[in-house]
Amino acid sequence: SCPAMSFRCLNGLCIPDSWRCDRDMDCEDGQNGTLSSDELDCEYKCARDQFQCKDGECISLLSRCDGHPDCSDSSDEPPACRVRPCGENEFKCNSTGQCIPKAWMCDGAGDCSDGSDEHLDLKCPVRTCKPSEFRCLNQVCIQESYYCDGDQDCEDGSDEPSTCEKRRCREDQFTCGNGRCISRHALCNGWEDCRDGSDERSDVCHEADPKVSGCPEGHFKCANKICVNESLLCNGENDCGDFSDENRCNINECELSTHACWQVCEDLPIGYNCSCHPGFKPKNEGRICEDVDECATQYPCTHFCRNTYGSFACSCADGYFSVDGGRTCKANSPVKASLLLSNRYYIRQVDLHRMSSDILAQNLTNSVALDFDSVDNCIYWSEVTAVGSSIKRMCLNGSQEHQVLHSTTVQNPDGLAVDWVGRNLYWCDKGKDTI
């Protein structure tokens, strides 16, 4: 007999019950191409390249046992994942049981979520960096100027230790908690421009708001301009000293026609507060609510966005279908997805269905930014070195020729994007502070 929560195969092998009907032949008792006993009498609602959650949801088969719950019921990450065997050409991550190609071991990039494919126990060869480079703790080499620049360039964050001195920002700039400088115009704009989110903290935004009363958040401004805690309002005590914290109590202005709120009125111990429904923004302290153009400010749609009164509508381009009301669009194409990634010294293509990988370009100096043009089937990337930087292109037409597009006009191009519609190439240059 098998333990509880287990399935007994026809050959007597016991496997976790969660392995049944998962499209994997775990019992290994099928003969001449027939299904093994753990896959008999199964009803599959999902495609062959998908995993069916216990609640019926379909997710990518690659998302199973990857260390991150993708099913809403977490059935794709059972405890059995940690004991599931990997193939001969695969490496098993320690804490999650995830199987990754052995070629990814000791490549300087943490492919396992716990970093076990780069662990010291594997005795990965120590990589030698150039004199103009800094070596991260995970053996990856980065440009020396990236050390203590306020941006985390090493995956392990070793280029930004706590001993780094914070840079002095200009008067028209804001200093993030990690020392990075951003424009003061980016303060409290609803987007985290600082990587640590310090430009959107409530205390920072409160001080930056010219409309505040002058009292800290959670305080009431008395008629004599003294600030008292809101918890002291209407408690029968003269905390203000002029009774202004007690003379307008027990009045619900929201039930009276005297309030000036256009949409939402919130009664307070003294006075009231106006706010707006989602899709609107307050004006004149919330007394007037204006429609928010989400398409121009929040960019909620992956393809096309049309603003409506109080909301917005998304749609997809031809050749794509909507997944969640148009917010996400997926290609209606038999072409299988693949991932391009750069490890500074080579560019690799990963087949997201078979988890196999091929090296497209190698012997690179220090590849930083990377993008792909699906129209011409070409790869664009930037190489940044102390000697000289450049932007290059390689088309996947069999020649594998590296074409230099720009070299004399760039200094430190750390971001790059291909506009495959307008046929333009954009990049940002960290050394010149230009786009």
- The per-residue pLDDT for range 229-262, each reduced to its tens digit, is 888 988 888 888 888 888 778 878 787 755 667 8
Handedness of CA 146, 149, 151, 152 (dihedral sign): positive
Q: Give the Å distances, CA to CA, from 218 to 202, 210, 212, 233.
A: 12, 17, 12, 11
Q: Are 375 and 399 in contact (CB under 8 A)?
A: no
> Is residue 203 situated within a structural domain?
no
- Check residue 333 and give its pLDDT: 75
> Is residue 361 situated within a structural domain?
yes
As a whole-number percent, the residues of the chain with pLDDT over 70 amount to 90
pLDDT tens digit sequence for 50-71: 788 887 778 877 777 777 778 8
Q: Is the pTM of this model over 0.75?
A: no
Number of H helices, E strands in the chain: 2, 29
DSSP summary character for residue 121: G
Q: Are residues 273 and 342 in the same domain?
A: no
Tell me the pLDDT band of 28, cut-offs 50, 70 and 90.
confident
Q: Of 331, 356, 381, at which residue does a domain stop? A: 331
Q: pLDDT: is 108 or 209 the higher one? A: 108
pLDDT tens digit sequence for 327-348: 888 888 777 788 998 888 888 8
Q: Are residues 354 and 424 in the same domain?
A: yes
Q: Are residues 261 and 320 in the same domain?
A: no
* Mean pLDDT, all residues of the chain: 80
Q: Are residues 301 and 361 in the same domain?
A: no
Q: Give the Å distances, CA to CA, from 376 to 245, 319, 361, 394, 425.
A: 70, 18, 17, 10, 13
Q: Give the Å distances, CA to CA, from 122 to 140, 249, 414.
A: 16, 70, 32
> Is residue 251 situated within a structural domain?
yes
Q: Are residues 242 and 273 in the same domain?
A: yes
Domain CATH number, residue 242: 2.10.25
Q: What count of other Cβ atoms lies within 10 Å of the Cβ of residue 234?
A: 16
Q: Are residues 395 and 358 in the same domain?
A: yes
Domain total in the chain: 3
Q: Are 96 and 66 in contact (CB under 8 A)?
A: yes
As a whole-number percent, the residues of the chain with pLDDT over 90 amount to 6
> Is residue 415 situated within a structural domain?
yes
Cα 326 to its chain centre, rounded Å, is 20
Q: State yes or no: pLDDT of 208 exceeds 60.
A: no
Q: Are residues 395 and 348 in the same domain?
A: yes
Tell me the pLDDT band of 24, cut-offs 50, 70 and 90.
confident
Residue (of 6, 50, 56) closest to 353 by Cα position:
50
Q: pLDDT: is 19 or 435 the higher one? A: 435
DSSP summary character for residue 74: -
> Is residue 425 situated within a structural domain?
yes
> Is residue 434 situated within a structural domain?
no
Q: Are residues 327 and 344 in the same domain?
A: no
Q: Are residues 392 and 315 in the same domain?
A: no
Those residues with Cβ within 8 angstroms of residue 268's Cβ, 6 or more apart along the chain or in another chain: none
Q: Are residues 247 and 272 in the same domain?
A: yes
- Check residue 186 and give its pLDDT: 67
> Is residue 13 situated within a structural domain?
no
Domain CATH number, residue 316: 2.10.25.10
Residue (of 141, 182, 144, 249) closest to 433 by Cα position:
182
> Is residue 386 situated within a structural domain?
yes
Q: Are residues 283 and 299 in the same domain?
A: no
pLDDT tens digit sequence for 258-312: 566 788 888 888 877 888 888 888 876 666 788 888 888 888 888 888 888 888 8
Q: Are 46 and 52 in contact (CB under 8 A)?
A: yes
Q: Are 205 and 188 in contact (CB under 8 A)?
A: yes
pLDDT tens digit sequence for 76-98: 888 777 777 787 888 888 777 77
Those residues with Cβ within 8 angstroms of residue 33's Cβ, 6 or more apart along the chain or in another chain: none
Tell me the pLDDT band of 428, cut-offs 50, 70 and 90.
very high
Q: Of 331, 351, 379, at which residue does a domain stop? A: 331
Please list the residues that pair with 32 across neighbouring strands: none
Q: Are residues 396 and 408 in the same domain?
A: yes
Range of the domain at 284: 234-291
Residue (of 142, 169, 147) closest to 160 by Cα position:
147
